[in-house]
């Protein structure tokens, strides 16, 4: 009896050892995700059309990798407050977070985001087939990189802290039917754009030319900046002196005023939503703003202009320059599962997932997705967007911590120009003067 | 310890929990805010990492034209809404203080606006003020009048938010005045009536003077509230056009979340707190003065009467 037991025991031990050996063998040849199977990642995404598309694709990631993802979706204006609190904690709840582009200045400066170099250097984590050059350059520069030129742009001293995900640029939408009816050609330059914007209300009484944001604050400022870059202007020169009040700045403000004056009724108080609604309801003939809007035009529940919209690149002034903005994804310094989070962010921005998300109505981050036949069959405007993105300007607005304050002042001043007829030159002089003071207080002239 | 001194301490034991709650719930946050107002603190820092800047936040605010303008907007807004609401609320109360059929249903309808969430009130009014689909402009147009730029002109925008606030908060004054009216001593009113006082005389010489303590408290409550109103304006105009409707509460919220200057926001809140404290104190003193005055004249009457 004892003999039998002994044999049984030995067999078990041998079998166990064999089992362990097989396990070790397997580990040596394991897939990149095996070590993280069963990990539960907590991520923070905004409630936004792109991320709604992402939600439909996420189960695919879990199926492929065994890593589970719990998503905390927040209204995007609220996100920054919550993240700021989360990031100052010793142990954070979020493993990955989507951030609005201007948060880059704050989070990176406060040393709250992981530098991605050590992940891309890690052969176990970094996928050689990732094809980073395929990521849209303007987006990467604007959203992902910090520490280079001017501190917020790429350059020899810069490095990567996030990947563009749910980014957007500006694009011109126009009513094909109205343009055909009056034999108008799609504006390629600012002169043509401004002329058309005021001609359309005469040709089509009751219809506004171009639906633009103009509401006091962020909206007015955003609309102004859209015109500033193509017209050759900037907020600051390379020595941080405000130049918003130079000839190009005045021209951009004049352009905005012309557009708003020739806009639909009530256009002085339009925010992004109202401007969009005016275009979707057929009360404006053109729309120049974020690509994120494109998903709605052919949705009959929101739009009265289904099938009537054409798209063209942002018209050029002295240069081509569409906006860059939207969201990026990054790993917080205080995250609990950083490596698995990197695998998720790499997967989400991979060619495969980028296409899957685009097919669900998201904003792709890669050139290849914009040129993809399947994506274009479903969304014919994608090709135009891809072309427009080659001129995306990562420096169309400064991404510095004090920007919020300067932006608010610029926005209220522009609102006064638009609604109270304040003098453009002297108003912008005021903005420049106050900006100079803010920059002085923040230490930007320490080296002067 | 002697039992007598223990006895003396007993009341303090009973008050202690309340005192503790007060200290934790009220004094701690306020002193935290006071402390923060002396710091250059952005939300990405822990409070311990923020730099001490002394009174800088307080002094720079006075050089900030946006703050001065928003303070002026707040004063204009608060005093006009409270004045108009007091007149309307009091008149309504005087009118409706009688036994009519369906009175209680009417009263409930009157106080409905107060019960609606501020965000909803803001949205509702924003759509009513809408330049093309809003009910006001459509009505004006149908009578052949020009549209009014309700929210897109700086003068009209302030008037528009004042109208919305009056609509929402007049019922509050109405209901307090009505309660005060109904608790007035009937004998005094009867005496006045028998002496031949007409309705106007009753209102101005009997009812309103007797209601004064309630009116003052109501006025104060509304004034404090009007200085702090935020959501309705946030939704309707977000402070625009320009800075024409940027009341101080909105400025504070933007300073903290948009400009990320928690120290400056705290200093602004302290200015608001001081302003409200001064208002409350002056009301309180005025009330005491009136009461003493009244007590004196009452005593004088008592002494002269046989």
Strand A208-211 relative to strand A284-290: parallel, antiparallel, unpaired?
parallel
Q: Quick one: pLDDT at residue A2?
A: 53
Tell me whether A215 touches chain B (CB under 8 Å): yes
User: Minimal Cα–Cα distance from B145 to chain A, Å?
Assistant: 15
Which of A89, A110, A211, A216 to mutate: most B Cβ within 10 Å? Answer: A216
What pLDDT shows up at residue A396? Answer: 93
- Those of residues 95-124 in A touching chain B at CB distance below 8 A are 106-107, 109-110, 112
Say if B51 is an interface residue toward chain A (CB within 8 Å): no
Phi, psi values for residue A161, rounded to 5°: -120, -15
- Give the 3-state DSSP-derived string for chain A, with helices as H, strands as E and coil as C: CHHHHHHHHHHHHHHHHHHHHHHHHHHHCCCCCHHHCCCEEEEEEECCHHHHHHHHHHHHHHHHHCCEEEEEEECHHHHHHHHHHHHHCCCCCCCEEEEECCHHHHHHHCCCECCCHHHHCCCCCCCHHHCHHHECHHHHHHHHEECCHHHCCCCCCCEECCEEEEEEEEEEEEEHHHHHHCCCCCCCEHHHHHHHHHHHHHHCCCCEEEECCCCCCHHHHHHHHHHHCCCCCCCECCCCCECCCCHHHHHHHHHHHHHHHCCCCCHHHCCHHHHHHHHHCCCEEEEEEEHHHHHHCCCCCCCCCCCCEEEEECCECCCCCECEEEEEEECECCCCCHHHHHHHHHHHCCHHHHHHHHHCCCCCCEHHHHHCHHHHHHCCCHHHHHHHHCCECCCCCCCCCCHHHHHHHHHHHHHHHHHHCCCHHHHHHHHHHHHHHHHHHCCCCCCC
In order of start, what are the domains of chain A with their CATH numbers?
36-168+326-389 (3.40.190.10), 169-323+399-441 (3.40.190.10)
Q: What is the β-pairing status of strands A145-146 and A159-160?
A: antiparallel
**What percentage of chain A has pLDDT greater than the value 90?**
74
Is A266 close to B130, i.e. CB distance below 8 A? yes
- Rounded to a whole number of angstroms, the distance from the CA of B298 to the nearest CA of chain A is 57
Contact B260 A266 (CB under 8 A): no
Tens of pLDDT, residue by residue, chain A (448 residues): 455 555 555 554 444 444 444 444 444 456 899 999 999 999 999 998 899 999 999 999 999 999 999 999 998 878 888 898 899 889 999 999 999 998 998 899 999 999 999 999 999 999 999 999 999 999 999 999 999 999 999 999 999 999 999 999 999 999 999 999 999 999 999 999 999 999 999 999 989 999 999 988 889 999 999 999 999 999 999 999 999 999 999 999 999 999 999 999 888 888 888 899 999 999 999 999 988 888 788 888 889 999 999 999 999 999 999 999 899 999 999 999 999 999 999 999 999 999 999 999 899 999 999 999 999 999 888 988 988 888 899 999 999 989 988 999 999 999 999 988 899 999 999 999 999 999 998 999 999 8
- For residue B293, give the DSSP letter: H
Interchain CB distance below 8 Å, B258 and A413: no
Chain A residues close to B243, C-beta within 8 Å: 216, 412
Interchain CB contact of B146 with A (< 8 Å): no
Residues of B in contact with A100 (CB under 8 A): none
pLDDT for B150-202, tens place per residue? 888 888 999 999 999 999 999 999 989 988 988 888 888 888 888 888 888 88
Query: Looking at the partner chain, which of B131, B154, B261 has a beta carbon nearest the beta carbon of A266?
Result: B131
Cβ contacts below 8 Å, chain A against chain B, sum to 89
Largest CA distance in chain B: 88
Tell me the shortest Cα–Cα distance from B131 to chain A, in angstroms. Answer: 5
Residues of B in contact with A81 (CB under 8 A): 43, 257
Pairing between β-strand A324-330 and β-strand A163-175 as defined by DSSP bridges: antiparallel
The pLDDT value recorded for residue A37 is 93
Chain B contact for A80 (CB, 8 A cutoff): yes
Q: What is the pLDDT of residue B165?
A: 94
Q: From the candidates B150, B258, B262, B263, which should be mutated to test the interface with A, based on the most A CB atoms within 10 A?
A: B258
Average pLDDT, chain B: 87
**Tokens representing B173?**
């004054």
How far apart, in whole angstroms, are the C-alpha atoms of residue B49 and residue B28? 20
Distance from the A278 Cα atom to the nearest Cα atom in chain B, whole angstroms: 11
- CA neighbor of A266 nearest in space, from B149, B296, B265: B149
Is residue B40 within a helix (H) or strand (E), and if so which, with residue range?
strand B39-40
Establish if A273 touches chain B: CB-CB under 8 angstroms. Answer: no
Give how far B159 is from chain A: nearest CA, Å: 16
Q: Is B197 helix (H, G, I), strand (E, B) or coil?
A: coil
CATH placement of domain B64-295 = 1.10.3720.10
Q: State the Cα–Cα distance between residues A30 and A109, nearest whole angstrom.
A: 38
Q: Is B52 helix (H, G, I), strand (E, B) or coil?
A: strand
**What pLDDT was estimated at residue A27?**
47
A258 touches chain B (CB under 8 A): no
pLDDT at A68: 95
- Quick check: A81 and B257 CB within 8 A? yes
CA dist., res. B175 & res. B220, Å (int): 15
* Residue bearing the bigger pLDDT, A157 or B11: A157
Q: Does A272 touch chain B (CB under 8 A)?
A: no
What pLDDT score was predicted for residue A9?
A: 56
Percent of chain B with pLDDT over 70: 97
The pLDDT score that the predictor gives to residue B101 is 79
Chosen for mutation from A263, A283, A419 (greatest number of chain B CBs closer than 10 Å) is: A419
B80–A contact, CB cutoff 8 A: no
Pairing status of strand A40-46 against strand A68-74:
parallel
Cβ distance B291 to B209 under 8 Å?
no
The pair of three-digit structure tokens given for residue A50, joined into one six-digit string: 């792109």
| Token pair for A380 | 């014919």
| DSSP output for B99-168 | --TTHHHHHHHHTHHHHS-HHHHHHHHHHHT-TTTSHHHHHHHHTTPPP--TTTSHHHHHHHHHHHHHHH
Q: What are phi and psi of A163, to 5 degrees?
A: -115, 140
Side-chain half-sphere CA neighbours of A296 within 13 A: 20
| CA dist., res. A208 & res. A281, Å (int) | 11
Q: Min CA distance, A407 vs chain B (Å)?
A: 9
- CB-CB neighbors (< 8 A) of A412 in chain B: 66, 239-240, 242-243, 246
How many Å apart are CA A249 and CA A243, to the nearest integer? 8
Q: Does B240 contact A415 at a Cβ distance shorter than 8 Å?
A: yes
Alpha carbon distance A22, A24 (integer Å): 5
**Residue A314's closest CA among A169, A436, A185?**
A169
Give the chain A residue nearest B260 (alpha carbons).
A404
**pLDDT band at residue B302 under the 50/70/90 scheme:** low
How far is it, in rounded angstroms, from Cα A399 to Cα A102? Answer: 6
Q: Which pLDDT belongs to residue A26?
A: 47
Best residue in B43, B151, B153, B245 to probe A by mutation, most A CBs within 10 Å?
A: B43
> pLDDT, tens digit, for every residue of B101-148?
777 788 888 888 888 999 999 999 999 998 878 899 999 999 988 888
State whether B242 and A87 contact (CB < 8 Å).
no
Domain locations along chain B: 64-295
Q: Do B154 and A416 touch (CB under 8 A)?
A: yes
In the prediction, which pLDDT does A16 show?
47
CB contact under 8 A, B239 and A81: no
Quote the tokens at residue A316: 């050029």
């Amino acid at each position: 009896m004892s003999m039998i037991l002994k044999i049984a025991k030995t067999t078990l031990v041998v079998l166990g050892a064999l089992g362990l050996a097989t396990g070790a063998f397997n580990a040596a040849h394991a897939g990149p995700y095996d070590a993280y199977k069963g990990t539960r990642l907590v991520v923070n995404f905004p409630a936004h059309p792109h991320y709604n598309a992402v939600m439909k694709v996420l189960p695919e990631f879990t199926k492929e990798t065994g890593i589970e993802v719990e998503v905390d979706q927040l209204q995007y204006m609220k996100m920054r407050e919550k993240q700021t609190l989360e990031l100052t904690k010793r142990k954070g709840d979020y493993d990955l977070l989507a951030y609005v582009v201007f948060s880059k200045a704050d989070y990176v400066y406060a040393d709250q985001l992981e530098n991605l170099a050590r992940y891309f250097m890690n052969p176990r984590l970094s996928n050689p087939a990732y094809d980073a050059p395929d990521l849209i350059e303007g987006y990467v520069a604007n959203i992902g990189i910090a520490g280079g030129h001017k501190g917020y742009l790429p350059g020899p001293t810069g490095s990567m802290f996030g990947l563009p995900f749910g980014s957007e640029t500006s694009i011109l939408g126009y009513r094909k039917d109205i343009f055909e009816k009056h034999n108008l050609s799609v504006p390629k330059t600012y002169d043509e754009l401004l002329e058309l914007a005021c001609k359309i209300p005469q040709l089509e009484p009751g219809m506004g030319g171009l639906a633009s944001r103009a509401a006091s604050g962020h909206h007015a400022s955003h609309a102004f900046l859209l015109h500033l870059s193509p017209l050759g202007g900037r907020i600051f020169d390379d020595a941080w002196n405000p130049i918003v009040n130079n000839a190009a700045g005045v021209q951009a403000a004049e352009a905005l005023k012309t557009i708003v004056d020739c806009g639909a009724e009530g256009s002085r108080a339009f925010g992004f939503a109202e401007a969009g609604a005016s275009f979707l309801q057929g009360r404006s003939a053109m729309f120049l703003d974020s690509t994120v809007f494109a998903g709605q035009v052919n949705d009959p529940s929101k739009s009265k202009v289904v099938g009537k919209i054409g798209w063209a690149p942002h018209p050029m002034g002295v240069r081509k320059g569409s906006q860059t903005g939207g969201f990026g994804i990054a790993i917080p310094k205080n995250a609990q599962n950083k490596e698995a989070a990197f695998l998720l962010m790499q997967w989400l921005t991979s060619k495969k997932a980028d296409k899957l998300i685009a097919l669900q109505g998201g904003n792709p981050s890669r050139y290849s997705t914009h040129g993809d036949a399947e994506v274009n069959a479903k969304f014919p405007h994608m090709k135009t967007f891809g072309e427009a993105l080659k001129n995306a300007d990562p420096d169309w607005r400064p991404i510095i911590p004090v920007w919020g304050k300067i932006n608010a002042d610029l926005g209220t001043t522009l609102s006064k120009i638009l609604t109270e007829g304040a003098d453009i030159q002297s108003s912008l002089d005021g903005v420049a003067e106050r900006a100079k003071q803010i920059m002085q207080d923040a230490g930007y002239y320490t080296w002067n | 310890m002697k039992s007598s001194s223990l006895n003396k301490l007993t009341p303090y034991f009973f008050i202690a929990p309340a005192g503790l709650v007060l200290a934790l719930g009220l004094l701690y946050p306020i002193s935290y805010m006071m402390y923060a107002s002396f710091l250059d603190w952005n939300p990405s820092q822990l409070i311990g990492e923020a730099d001490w800047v002394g009174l800088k936040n307080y002094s720079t605010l006075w050089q900030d034209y946006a703050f001065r303008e928003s303070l002026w907007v707040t004063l204009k807004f608060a005093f006009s809404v409270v004045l108009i609401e007091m007149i309307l609320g009091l008149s309504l109360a005087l009118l409706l203080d009688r036994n009519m059929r369906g009175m209680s249903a009417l009263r409930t309808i009157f106080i409905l606006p107060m019960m609606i969430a501020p965000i909803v009130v803001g949205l509702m009014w924003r759509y009513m003020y809408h330049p093309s689909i809003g009910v006001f402009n459509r009505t004006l147009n149908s009578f052949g009048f020009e549209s009014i730029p309700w929210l897109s002109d700086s003068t009209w925008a302030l008037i528009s938010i004042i109208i919305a606030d009056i609509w929402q908060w007049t019922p509050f004054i109405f209901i307090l005045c009505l309660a005060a009216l109904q608790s007035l001593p009937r004998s005094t009113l009867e005496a006045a009536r028998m002496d031949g006082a007409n309705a106007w005389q009753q209102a101005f010489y009997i009812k309103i003077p007797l209601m004064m303590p309630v009116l003052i408290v109501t006025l104060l409550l509304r004034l404090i509230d009007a200085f702090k109103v935020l959501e309705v304006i946030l939704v309707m105009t977000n402070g625009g056009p320009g800075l024409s409707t940027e009341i101080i509460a909105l400025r504070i919220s933007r300073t903290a979340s948009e400009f990320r200057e928690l120290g400056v926001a705290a200093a602004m809140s302290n200015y608001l707190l001081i302003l409200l404290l001064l208002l409350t104190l002056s009301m309180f003193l005025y009330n005491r003065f009136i009461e003493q005055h009244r007590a004196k004249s009452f005593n004088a009457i008592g002494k002269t009467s046989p």
